[in-house]
Amino acid sequence: MTHTTAANDVYLQIGEAAERTGLTQRTLRYYEEKGLLKRPTRMEGGFRLYSPEDIQRIEAIKQLKELLGFSLADIKEMMDAEDIRLQIRAQWRKDADAAEKAAKIRKAREVTLHQTALLDQKMEQMAAMRNELAQRLENYDRWLREHAADAPASSTKS
Amino acid sequence: MTHTTAANDVYLQIGEAAERTGLTQRTLRYYEEKGLLKRPTRMEGGFRLYSPEDIQRIEAIKQLKELLGFSLADIKEMMDAEDIRLQIRAQWRKDADAAEKAAKIRKAREVTLHQTALLDQKMEQMAAMRNELAQRLENYDRWLREHAADAPASSTKS
DNA sequence: TTGCACCTTGACGTGCGCGTCAACGTAGCT
DNA sequence: AGCTACGTTGACGCGCACGTCAAGGTGCAA
């Protein structure tokens, strides 16, 4: 409330955007530089203004990177596919060439299919891993239960 | 069969180990240098000999890295925990101090619990993502079905 | 219009995860 | 003993994903 620019607007300057997404300003500029983010709208003087959609996109990127460990190059591919998707939705009525639309959609479908396959593979492996860990945990717990009273003279607390 | 060292033995030199695991010799040495792999047994002249267990461990590391995108530092933590686990199993009978064993086990349990939590979180997010993709796929397919006959004069095959 | 917080674009620095030589030793066949 | 493939330890290089100044412009309140 002190002197924050456009306090009631939903558009965020880079500082606020960084804070909200948990990234740094440098990172946001870097993503933009690498084509992961489109150039956001600017104020008169050139200050970046991030729309809510921009913020969403940033958080999507963050997830893909931190959660799934994809490289920025990988993510760019995905985002490009996503862009095509949105582009399709935008041009839904304007462009009348149905054949071309079908081609685009098939392309998008293919990419999406590939992504789901990758995801499925990862999830499968993770599930297997999780089972191993769970089993391990059970073993620990069982041992601790069985030997709960065996300790000779250790302090009983903690 | 040409002149491969100890062709009938299960122990592998670094070249073969690299080939089997799909990593490079440099990477294997690097992992060893970083403490991710224990120093493997050596031949007289200092050549590394990887045991089947070593190979397994290498492949575990590879999975954790490539599949889940963990950093080598993260993986080292996990492997250290795993080492403690194996150490416990090895010293099962020798060391009689039950209290100490319990402490180790509780520590290992804690680490394992943390790992499962991380995994669960990741899996949850991935499942959500997968749903989005699946929905998208459905939309594509539906569109393609609905507009299958709409195309003006496109070839009917494919 | 001055002041300060916030922003801009370079440009160089940094840690990770290796790649890539260089110089040299070893294993095993002949 | 010699040849050659395979290995050893440095040490420097590299691309990625940013971190970190530096030098300057912008926005807004006082």
Is pLDDT of A95 > 70? no
Q: Which of A17-26, A117-126, A138-147, B46-55 has the lowest mean pLDDT?
A: A117-126
Is B69 within 7 A of strand D by CB distance?
Answer: no
pLDDT for the residue numbered A67: 81
What is the average pLDDT value for chain B, to the nearest integer?
84
Residues 6+ apart with CB under 8 A from A114: none
Residue B38 main-chain phi, psi, to 5 deg: -70, 155
What is the average pLDDT value for chain A, to the nearest integer?
84
CB A51 within 8 A of CB A40: yes
Q: Which of A16-20, A67-71, B22-26, B53-57 has the lowest mean pLDDT?
A: A67-71
Question: Which of A86, A115, A83, A87 shows the shortest CA–CA distance to B134?
Answer: A115
Between CA B158 and CA B154 the distance in angstroms is: 10
| Minimal CA separation from B111 to chain A, in Å | 10
Burial of B88 (0-12, 13-18, 19+ CB in 10 A): middle
Q: In chain A, which residues from 11 to 50 place their CB closer than 7 Å to nucleic acid strand D? A: 24, 26-27, 30, 34, 43-47
Among candidates A99, A127, A152 on the partner chain, residue whose Cβ is nearest the Cβ of B98: A152
Using only C-alpha atoms, chain A has a radius of gyration, in whole angstroms, of 25
Between CA A82 and CA A111 the distance in angstroms is: 10
pLDDT, tens digit, 9 for 90 and up, residues B103-117 = 888 888 888 888 888
Tell me the average pLDDT across A83-105: 78
Is A27 within 7 A of strand C by CB distance?
Answer: no
Q: Tell me which of A114 and A38 has the higher pLDDT.
A: A38
CB B66 within 8 A of CB B91: no
Rounded to two decimals, the ipTM of the complex is 0.78
Tell me the average pLDDT across B78-91: 82
Domain boundaries, given as residue ranges, for chain B: 9-70, 91-147
Please list the residues that pair with A48 across neighbouring strands: A42
For the domain spanning A9-70, the CATH number is 1.10.1660.10
